[in-house]
Chain A
Amino acid sequence: MDSDATVPLSERPEWSDVVPLSQDDGPNPVVPIAYKEDFRETMDYFRAIYRSDERSPRALRLTEEALRLNSGNYTVWHFRRLVLEELDHDLFEELKFIESIAKDNSKNYQLWHHRRWVAEKLGPAVAGKELDFTRSILSVDAKHYHAWSHRQWALQALGGWENELDYCHELLEADVFNNSAWNQRYYVITRSPSLGGLKPMRESEVSYTVKAILANPGNESSWRYLKALYKDDTKSWISDPSVSSVCLKVLSRTDCFHGFALSTVLDLLCDGLRPTNEHRDSVKALANEDPETNLANLVCTILCRVDPIRANYWAWRKSKITVAI
């Protein structure tokens, strides 16, 4: 970075040979922007070197200035890559550069695409760095979508799966409502080359998830994850006692939201679960209404009351019930 970065470019001797190229807005421009002078000037100089295709050290520094003003400009990022290649610049230094830009604005696609480009070039040697970098971003915002995408890419491309499930657990300990962390759990158990896939992991994951559900029955993420563990395996879904059991446990409590437990019971019934007396009693206990003989119908009726914002939906679900239970 130029040490005199606050001095206008036009006053810097280093740039005295360059004629800045102003933006040609053309006749009758629509939605003009009230550019600030420093922005305009920086972009005028960038345009000049971009046009002349100057791939020099000072061009590299200029792209940095331009990116600090506008980290979303994909043209500048692309040109920076061309310059980096031309100069055979130290890409480990570039990782640090990206981290410094990320401090002020980590939520743009261009920055992450650039990071990936650099990491790809450096290869598995930087697997750890990519996990560290995304971890640092996630420590500020544990649901940072770009960071999660990059992390998933890094695991696939560069490796480092060994501690990922533990990392998910760490995040879930901090916030069990973190849906991104639950999503990452699913990613790991289905894609990690060392874990064997969903079925072998099911038992331990069910146990983990049931604990999380019981601690916070109003957490949509954990219920969705539970169901995901039986993806494409309806038979196990309806027959695994752990699933019924967690629903019944939640339904028997008076201190929590019952909506997800009820909708899970509804799904189980529609998928073919034969309800036991325990199922019937648990549901009936929640009914203010006259208990219907069809249990699935009754569940829908209760849901209309317990989850009123979706009352129309539960009424429609009721109308669609074909199971005679």
Chain B
Amino acid sequence: MSETAVHGEAVDWESEDEDSDDSEEEEEEYTSPSQPPSSSNFDKDRHLVYLQMMYELLPYHYQSQEINRLTLAHFIISGLHFLGATDRVDKDAVAKWVLSFQAFPSNRALLKKGEFYGFYGSRSSQFPIDENGDLTHNNSHLASTYCALAILKVIGYDLSTIDSESLLLSLKNLQQDDGSFMPIHTGGETDLRFVYCAAAISDMLGDWSGMDKEKAKNYILNCQSYDGGFGLIPGSESHGGGTYCAIASLRLMGFIGADLLSNDTSSSILDPSLLLNWSLQRQASDGGFQGRTNKRSDTCYAFWIGAVLKLIGGDAFIDKVALRQFLLSCQSKYGGFSKFPGALPDLYHSYYGYTAFSFLEEPGLSPLCPELGLPLLTSL
């Protein structure tokens, strides 16, 4: 059983854990009502056990995601923080470990060579620097950089103390002419996920010098589909994850405000009415949210779409009771959440299950920062 992390090779909604089960499920028609929930409540204690287990050792099933180890760490550590279990994490050890993934050029002249100096996703391709102080292979990855900064932010590390100069200077090496971003300078697919990573990184570091916001905005707007949602690339089908990346990025960059729905739309860069309608229509009759029209409900879209609605001011229109019931039917008796009712839990769906419950203001959970997908800290 292989699941996939969201960030890292990042935001992999379209990998195994999203739709692959559809083809298996097609054989057993999903006509039955959702199985009775393992509990009629959010089972915080069981989730803590699940996360604690993962924190100590990830089972071998996760080896196929090991290139994104920082992402897995983010899900676990940030997940623990959502559940209020901040004391279970050795903050100093974590900070040291995360910072050890940061790549630096040996001299500034190297910054012009087009490489990105951010964070690696894992140790697997990180080698010691050579005699000249150079990196032998720079595999800094944009999504891993997001996860690294997210972990540090969540554990309360002061991001202003990070040496982010080369990071910000080299970030623009990943931005394309059309405004999109590549994840890694050696080449990779460009799409909205990495625009989002770049925007979130800039926001967390409080410095926008690393990206051309105007170009990024234009790319985002080009990704809006005819039905109001956003695809991951221009022309592609509107998708919950793509829509989240689009709206959260626009919000982080300051192009849209919290008042998008209530304000006179003629002054806005996008007409929110069709977006609102599309987003709300993603709530299916089983109470859950689907990632695309006519697809099955999946736990994680409760966050991706829920956060979009929160950001544009339309979350009051969600049927939160029905959503909660659906999510509880995806709650695993082992702790964690699965994609669908009755499936086995995985870290990605667990994390977004926690963010969804935070969005629903579940008592005992940290509040949510929707544009970063992180627990809101009461103090830094």
Contacts and interface: CB of A to CB of B under 8 A. Distances in A.
Interface of A: 23-26, 28-36, 39, 43, 47, 50-51, 69-75, 78, 81, 105, 107-110, 112-113, 116-117, 140-141, 143-146, 148-149, 152, 177-180, 183, 186-187, 191, 219-221, 224-225, 227-228, 231, 263, 308-313, 316
B125 A47 contact: yes
B319 interface: yes
A143 B123 contact: no
Contacts of A309: 283, 285, 287, 319, 322
Chain B interface size band reads 35 or more
A72 B68 contact: yes
B281 interface: yes
Q: Which 4 A-B pairs have the closest CB atoms?
A: A228-B226, A313-B317, A145-B14, A179-B293
B100 A32 contact: no
A108 B283 contact: no
B67 A31 contact: no
Contacts of B183: 74
Nearest to A145: B14
B57 interface: yes
A69 B20 contact: no
Contacts of A23: 123-124
Contacts of B10: 109
Contacts of A28: 93, 96-97
Contacts of A116: 189
A59 B302 CA distance: 44
Interface stretch (B161-169, B171-179, B205-213, B234-242): B234-242
Interface of B: 2, 4, 9-10, 12-16, 18-20, 22-23, 54-55, 57-60, 62-69, 72-73, 76-77, 93-94, 96-98, 100, 123-128, 136-137, 139, 141, 183-184, 186-189, 225-227, 231-233, 235-239, 276-277, 280-281, 283, 285, 287, 292-295, 314, 316-319, 322
A183 B236 contact: yes
Contacts of A39: 60, 63
Contact of A35 (B2, B66, B125, B227): B66
Nearest to B73: A31
B100 A26 contact: yes
A179 B67 contact: no
Nearest to B17: A107
B236 A69 contact: no
Given A28-B93, A31-B55, A140-B23, A50 B125 contact: yes
Contacts of A149: 232-233, 236
Nearest to A152: B235
Contact of B237 (A31, A81, A179, A191): A179
Contacts of B54: 31
B127 A70 contact: no
